Structure 1
Amino acid sequence: MKNTADRIQGFYQKHYKLCYIQSFNLVRCENEVGILTDNLIITLSSLPLVEEGQKVIITFEDVKDLKISSFQGVFRVEINIQDISEEQLEDISFRVKEEEHDTFAFMCRAFDWVRTY
């Protein structure tokens, strides 16, 4: 399994060209011990936004303190993922923020991403 820095760097390499929000979905899930958590699934693609194009799908698990701004218009997003696990906040390991337009920000326990072709 890749370490945290490698996972974040790998995401940045894929996110570079696939940087337009196609979908932004908050999903409430029940975790393994029966506690409800909020997972955020963001799908990024290139322009034009077409269903069959390449995508990066990022799943952020156990999202806390979600702040959302305007999504009007099509604009490039710059997602910054910061490892804050050393701050020892309960069940929080990452701080995530869209830097270019301040579109969203939150903290989460974990994240994973896949690229589709």
Structure 2
Amino acid sequence: MFTKFPLLNHDFLYVPAQKVVKYRQHGANAYKNVSRQFFIIKQMLDFLAPAEIYSKALGKVLAMHFLGAVRLGRFNDGLSLFKNVSMGAKSYFVYYLASYVFSYTGRMLSKLVRRVFG
């Protein structure tokens, strides 16, 4: 697709908030291989993402995949994602990790309060 329509912001637009595909999980794909998923997305961002949003986009993906690795009990796999990642992406990682953790904690506390007082 990108060889037929190669011009960024002309033939296609990079919009991280727009969902264009849903990933179906099955035994033969890489949904549990967090490192593989991350580096596939990183390669795509390396090639396609505009420089002004690259670090932010990569930091967000890094946070999501790190949390996925931790959820699967693969903390070392999560740490391995930091190889060859810029300091800018790592700083956005901290921001997104904190926002995901605080959001999750808020949802859990809200559920608890509803159960106790609801």
TM-score tier after normalising by the smaller chain length: under 0.3
- Normalized against structure 2, the TM-score is what? 0.25
- Give the number of the structure whose residues are more often helix, by fraction: 2
Larger Rg: 2
